Amino acid sequence: DLLMQVEGKPKCCFFKFSSKIQHNKVVKAQLWIYLRPVKTPTTVFVQILRLIKPMKDGTRNTGIRSLKLDMNPGAGIWQSIDVKTVLQNWLKQPESNLGIEIKALDENGHDLAVTFPRPGEDGL
Residues facing residue 81 across a β-bridge? 31
Q: Residue 98 has what pLDDT? A: 80
Read out DSSP for 34-96?
A: EE---SS-EEEEEEEEEE-PPPTT---EEEEEEEEEEE-SSS-EEEEEE-HHHHHHHHH-GGG
When mean pLDDT is compared across 48-52, 72-76, 99-103, 118-122, the lowest value belongs to 118-122
Instruction: Choose which CATH entry (3.40.50, 2.60.310, 2.60.120, 3.10.20) describes domain 23-114.
Output: 2.60.310
pTM: predicted TM-score of the whole model, two decimal places: 0.75
Residue 123, classed as helix, strand or coil, is: coil
pLDDT digits (tens, 9 = 90+) for 62-117: 888 899 999 999 888 999 999 998 888 888 887 877 888 888 999 999 989 887 66
Confidence of residue 10 (pLDDT cuts 50, 70, 90): low
